[in-house]
């Protein structure tokens, strides 16, 4: 087992940064988008899912940060780190590894779960779909897609996920246009068609509907 010398955080949530203290204390270089360091440096709460975390000690904070794009090299492999703007959070990193043809996409994609849209961290349904469009544009049918949760996927799996999100977004846009309340939107079950495949993860359909509704209306700042 080679020693770990560098660690990339795909975003700030504890299940992706909980090892930072251990690795940082051991001298590992922690790399992340700049907003991850800001989030880990203070107490954070995620609406609708009851997550509260932080702040992290100095040894757990990223020591190398970037804004939109960064390139690393590891032996014969090149790692391109990209942030497409707020999506799952405001500090997401997608890692493209070449020539291995692997894309590590973090919690922008969970296979097969509805995603958490971290509204308090600047996340949005529009941002998630935008990031997915960018990932799809940069990958091909042979790319291995590594999700934040669940088994390794194909580009076709990612495209199916993206299309599901677009359909759910449109249904909730229509409910908002009809002046439905958030509870009425939940009662309308806009995700019903997809629940058998995507609704058994850590975000149940009613919570996902509330996240999307809040993202499309007041940005989720008052949603709990």
* CA atoms of 105 and 145, how far apart (whole Å): 7
Better pLDDT: 34 or 222: 34
Tell me the percentage of the chain whose pLDDT exceeds 90: 91
> What is residue 52's predicted lDDT score, i.e. its pLDDT?
83
Q: Identify the weakest region by mean pLDDT among 54-58, 173-177, 195-199, 208-212.
A: 54-58
Q: Are strands 77-82 and 94-98 parallel, antiparallel or unpaired?
A: antiparallel
Q: pTM here? A: 0.95
Give me the mean pLDDT over the 54-74 stretch. 96
Report the pLDDT value the prediction gives residue 219, as an integer from 0 to 100: 60
What pLDDT score was predicted for residue 224? 34
Q: What is the mean pLDDT of residues 9-18?
A: 96
Average pLDDT, the chain: 95
State yes or no: pLDDT of 218 exceeds 70.
yes
Domains, the chain, ranges and CATH? 68-216 (3.60.15.10)
Question: What pLDDT, in 10s, does the model give residues 148-172?
Answer: 999 999 999 999 999 999 999 999 9
Q: What is the mean pLDDT of residues 175-199?
A: 98
Q: Indicate if the pLDDT at residue 34 is higher than 50.
A: yes
- With cut-offs at 50, 70 and 90, classify the pLDDT of residue 1: low
For the residues 12-36, what does the mean pLDDT come to?
97
Dihedral pair phi/psi, residue 72, rounded to 5°:
-125, 160
- Whole-number Å distance between alpha carbons of 61 and 119: 22
Distances in whole angstroms, Cα of residue 31 to Cα of each of 27, 39, 40, 180, 193: 13, 14, 13, 43, 39
Q: What single string gives the DSSP state of each residue in 196-214?
A: HHHTTSSS-HHHHHHHHHH
Distance CA 39, CA 209 (A): 25
For the segment 77-113, what is each residue's pLDDT rounded down to a tens digit?
Answer: 999 999 999 999 999 999 999 999 999 999 999 999 9
Stretch 194-222: mean pLDDT? 89
């Amino acid at each position: 087992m080679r020693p770990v010398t560098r660690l990339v955080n795909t975003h700030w949530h504890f299940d992706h940064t909980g090892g930072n203290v251990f690795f940082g204390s051991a001298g590992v270089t922690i790399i992340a988008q700049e907003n991850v360091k800001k989030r880990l440096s203070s107490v954070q709460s995620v609406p609708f899912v009851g997550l509260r975390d932080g702040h992290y000690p100095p040894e757990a904070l990223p020591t190398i940060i970037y804004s939109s794009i960064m390139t690393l090299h590891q032996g014969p492999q090149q790692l391109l780190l990209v942030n497409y703007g707020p999506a799952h959070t405001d500090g997401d990193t997608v890692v493209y590894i070449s020539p291995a043809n692997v894309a590590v996409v973090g919690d922008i994609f969970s296979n097969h779960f509805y995603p958490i849209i971290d509204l308090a961290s600047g996340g949005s349904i529009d941002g998630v779909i935008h990031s997915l469009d960018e990932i799809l544009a940069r990958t091909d049918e042979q790319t291995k897609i590594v999700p934040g949760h669940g088994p390794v996927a194909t580009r076709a799996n990612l495209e199916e996920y993206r299309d599901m999100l677009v359909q759910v977004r449109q249904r909730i846009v229509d409910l908002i246009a009809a002046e439905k309340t958030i509870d009425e939107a939940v009662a309308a079950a806009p995700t019903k068609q997809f629940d058998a495949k995507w609704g058994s993860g850590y975000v149940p359909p009613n919570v996902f509907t509330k996240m999307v509704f809040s993202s499309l209306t007041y940005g989720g700042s008052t949603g709990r």
